[in-house]
Amino acid sequence: MAPSMTANYPYSQISEFSKTIATSSDLDPNFGGGVSFKPSSCGGITTARKPWQILQDALGFRNEDEHFWWETTASVLGCLLEKAGYDVHLQYQYLSLYYRYVLPSYGPRPLQPGVPHWKSFMCDDFSPFEPSWNWDGSKSIIRFSFEPINRASGTSADPFNQIKPREVLAEISDISAGLDTQWYDHFAREFFLPSETASIIRSRLPEGEHMSQSFLAWDLNGGEASTKAYFFPILRSLETGRSTRDIVVDAITKLDSEKTSLRPSLTVLEDYMSSLPTEWQAKYEMIAIDCTDPSKSRIKIYVRMPSMAFNKVRDMYCLGGRLHGPNVDAAMKILDDLWPRVLYIPEGTGPDDELPSNTHRTAGAIFNFELKPGNPLPDPKLYLPVRHYAKSDLDIARGLQSFFRLQGWDEMADSYVEDLKNIFPTHDLANTAGSHTYLSYSYKKKTGAAVTMYYNPRIYECPPVVDEVF
């Protein structure tokens, strides 16, 4: 039976409901419970109903659009929370928040299979939701990014989809831990464009380029949902004729103050970027900020290099030797182990050789360089666009399994391949690549290696069958 349509539930009611429903006898007694890596299935046949299914029936939906987006996104998020070992009460809490604040922000469902209302740059098939699973050997954290969309997105009223992200940020101010919009407001002023420039931008937009301006993201950790925001300089670059690098650096420099000085670490990054040969064509792709007090926030600059030659990737991770020492040496040693396990490397490929050519807009390695007040050096993180350089998602999962085993992360090694199958039961994991989007890798002195798997629900590439609401 189709879920009922309901009115908009206030957060307090949803919160109370999530506490009550978590004790439901409809639940598998072994489900969740705060223990990592339960073998129960999210996909496939199971008698136990999952929190996302119970919430779906209990809360209902305001319209057909929300029903579609719940089926295609909350099912994935719910499964990830389970597989990452979140206590069942936290699963209900986070899914309830998702229902209340995020679900309404995806806008119209596709009226034709595979045809989005707004082409989000979030995923390669334009899906506006990208969940991720972070693991550092001691704990799992689930995160997700999303691009808020409404019916005006892409129309003359909001050609660049700049309205809905700001509305959602205002709506979540009462539940997001320590939310502060000072930096968001600053970068919105720097990057957002007036609607009147739409015809100029469209005439200058290269084929395959995107028009997304801002994403939001939640880290689901410790019972809180901390908010991040992302901005893209490409449209401002097209409007002004200036490089994305110049636009990003100018915007960050304007923030400089005694309390939030980012100049030392930014100078190190800029010195390296200026030293690169022209043929490397490294491009400032986007920035990310923590939506918190500026003295505690970070800025991450994402740089894409259209290269997948191992030695070039190593060089950028170390900023050409500007980052050095035992931690960097340890990071490089582990990267040596990760690289051949998650990428397809043809026989005879040397460390200076490019991997097989790929001209897709999202091909090539990405780095984010974290700038934080008080830190004299940028902190690097590598993102491998594995979907473009692996034979299949199953190959990626098996490679990760091998890497996890090598790191001594036996729980993840034992479960990851089956977990992936359960998270995406309708995806052809053995014969296609695309459920994994990126794999990030970083190394910290205190925690050692950390990897994050980023996923595409493939909403438009693999449209699911959704029951009719009416």
Q: What are the binding residues? A: 130, 143, 228, 230, 298, 300, 302, 383
CB 27 within 8 A of CB 88: yes
CB 398 within 8 A of CB 416: no
DSSP-derived letter for residue 387 is: G
Alpha helices (runs of H) in 60-204, residue ranges in sequence order: 64-69, 75-83, 88-97, 163-171, 182-191, 198-204
**Whose CA is closest to 83, among 41, 132, 131?**
41
CA–CA separation, 328 and 304 (whole Å): 21
CB 135 within 8 A of CB 455: no
DSSP string for 235-256: HHHHHH---HHHHHHHHHHTT-
Report the phi/psi class of residue 338: left, alpha or beta, with left for phi > 0 and alpha for psi in -120 to 50: alpha
CB 251 within 8 A of CB 237: no
Which tokens hold the place of 323?
A: 């980052």
Residues of each annotated binding site for L-tryptophan: 130
CB 282 within 8 A of CB 305: yes
Distance of CA 458 to the CA centre of its chain: 14
Q: Report CA dihedral (337, 339, 345, 351) to the nearest 10 degrees.
A: -90
C-alpha distance across the termini of the chain, in Å:
10
Phi, psi for 90 (deg, rounded to 5): -65, -35
Outline where DSSP puts E strands in 299-364: 299-305
CA–CA separation, 454 and 217 (whole Å): 13
CB 109 within 8 A of CB 65: yes
Residues of each annotated binding site for dimethylallyl diphosphate: 143, 228, 230, 298, 300, 302, 383
Listed in sequence order, the residues at least 6 apart from 412 whose beta carbon sits closer than 8 Å to its beta carbon are 37, 135, 400, 401, 404
Q: How many CB atoms lie within 10 A of CB 57?
A: 13
Residue count (the chain): 470
